[in-house]
Chain A
Amino acid sequence: MPDFPGKGLFKGLGVTFKTMLEPNVTVQYPHEKEAPPTRARGVIALKEENCTVCMLCARSCPDWCIYIEGHKDKAPPRREGGKPRTVQKLDRFDIDYSLCMYCGICVEVCPFDALFWSPEYEYSEVRIADLLHDKDRLGEWMKTVPEPPPLEVGATPAKGAKK
């Protein structure tokens, strides 16, 4: 199209007209559901046995929506005749999803792979207090966590990883 004064005005009208004729992107949510991408940030799942109550997630949380309580416990020694080991036992692990902003820093920062993203997103509640998920509820989400992506060819598997 050659240049003439006011060309942009017509271009703008063209954009809106074209968009009007194109199919729109809205998904009618309660009636039809969108399949989120596998790695979508829907909800955070907790793998309780991996947690060492190190508090890194709670401290890195920008809106302080993770509540952790734990206590020291004795565990049987690794070798026969050894000293009983001291382990951290998790008493409470709550995430308040009414505060969570889904930044994922807690998942990133967890050194023991206890937190995972799950693509599930349908957990809205009538009462805001019910958005506080305790460690059992967070553990339930583990079932929905997708398998980690396969390692590249020739990569060394993680220590202690299942074959």
Chain B
Amino acid sequence: MGHLLALDLTAYWATTTIKVLVVLGLIPAGALILGYVFLLKMMSFMQSRLGPMEAGPYGTLQLVADGVKFLQKEDIFPDRADRRVFALAPVVVLMSTFLLYMVIPAGPRLIVEDLDTGVIFALAVSSLSVIGVLMAGWASANKYALIGALRAAGQLIAYELPLVLAVVGVAIQAGTFSLQGIVHAQAEGSIFGIGAIGNPFILTQFVGFVLFLAAAQAELSQTPFDMPVAESELVAGYMTEYTGFRFLFFFMGEFGTAFALSAIGATLFLGGWYLPGVHGTLADVVGPLVLGAKIMMVAFLIFWVRFSYPRFREDQLQAIAWKFLIPISLVNILVTGVLKVVVK
């Protein structure tokens, strides 16, 4: 018995280590991919220029070079900063990103932890970053950082609601909060009796998808919702006093979260890892690629909007959340609920 327990524990630690390492590798990889494909290249093309071309073929290594540059920089603390909080803040932000990856399924069995309340867990964890942002702003002993942090807090709290409410519609339709369950619901679903491509919820929950995208945009504080880091008024908001690898942490947190939220969006609305006609072990192999492709589609929408629109004013930003997105999402939930009962 004792022997068995020991074996189980070894297996547990082995799988846990592997999972942690995979996620730890995924965050920088996701950040690099999104950063290169969208921030460097797509934005450049949208502005009719080439973007970085010299570091590596077509500038692919530009972000790696930037990362190395950040690592070489001096680790500066402002004179009157709260040193411990200041140092901890980027870690808290990155931690929230890290936890987001826990519940995203990349295949029938490729998931760190298939929680029954996966969606709720993901959204709860994503709002942890507010604490890190507030810590950063407060500990910097800089008024711009503080203003940026408070703006970020106000914004993230305001847009948390439409994000959750948009997801509720999906949860009602799927009948589960587990992300794996939502993927299965989409794979096995059918629209008007036609089940060839399953039922990606973007078709039946299109309003929810738009709401989710808008709220995710704000959660990531991407333009047009980038008041917290509005560089023309606040330098860089809560990141003003950060340099070197601590700034890199914020950067990775931002793009890592963008990657994770795109993955959640892809899972909720585009069917996640599911590709029609692929089942069993093959789905475990193809799944991550399918999910990756769908992530890129969602991320494309997010960054397309980011590079096209100017910034909202603070009051407009709050008004959009409270007067526009939340009522619509409540109506969406109501309609979904009624249809669920009526149609079923």
Contact = CB atoms under 8 A, between A and B. Distances in A.
Interface stretch (A21-29, A98-106, A125-133, A152-160): A21-29
B304 interface: yes
Interface of B: 42, 44-50, 53, 304-305, 307-309
Interface stretch (A10-18, A40-48, A66-74, A87-95): A10-18
A24 B48 contact: yes
Contact of A20 (B46, B50, B305): B46
Nearest to B49: A26
A25 B48 contact: yes
Contacts of B307: 16
B45 to A, nearest CB: 4
A13 B304 contact: yes
B48 A12 contact: no
Give the interface centre of B47, B307, B308, B309 by most chain A CB atoms within 10 Å: B308
B49 A12 contact: no
Contact of A28 (B44, B47, B53): B53
A15 B44 CA distance: 14
| 5 interchain residue pairs of minimum CB distance | A26-B50, A16-B46, A20-B45, A16-B308, A24-B48
A124 interface: no
Interface of A: 9, 12-13, 15-17, 19-22, 24-26, 28
B308 A22 contact: no
A33 to B, nearest CB: 16
25 contacts: A9-B309, A12-B308, A12-B309, A13-B304, A13-B305, A13-B308, A15-B308, A16-B46, A16-B308, A17-B46, A17-B304, A19-B45, A19-B47, A19-B48, A20-B45, A21-B45, A22-B48, A24-B44, A24-B45, A24-B48, A24-B49, A24-B50, A25-B48, A26-B49, A28-B50
A13 B213 CA distance: 15
Contacts of B48: 19, 22, 24-26
Given A13-B305, A16-B304, A20-B42, 17 more contacts: A12-B308, A12-B309, A16-B307, A17-B46, A17-B304, A19-B45, A19-B47, A19-B48, A24-B44, A24-B49, A24-B50, A25-B48, A25-B49, A26-B48, A26-B49, A26-B50, A28-B53
Contacts of B308: 12-13, 15-16
Find the residue from B42, B44, B48, B305 having the highest chain A CB count within 10 A.
B48
Contacts of B46: 16-17, 19-20
Contacts of A25: 48-49
Nearest to A10: B308
| A15, A20, A22, most chain B CB atoms within 10 A | A20
A19 to B, nearest CB: 5
Nearest to B47: A19
A21 to B, nearest CB: 8
Contacts of B304: 13, 16-17
A13 B42 CA distance: 13
Interface centre among A9, A22, A24, A25 (most CB of B within 10 A): A24
Contacts of A28: 50, 53
A130 to B, nearest CB: 25
Contacts of B53: 28
A24 B47 CA distance: 8
B6 to A, nearest CB: 57
Contacts of A19: 45-48
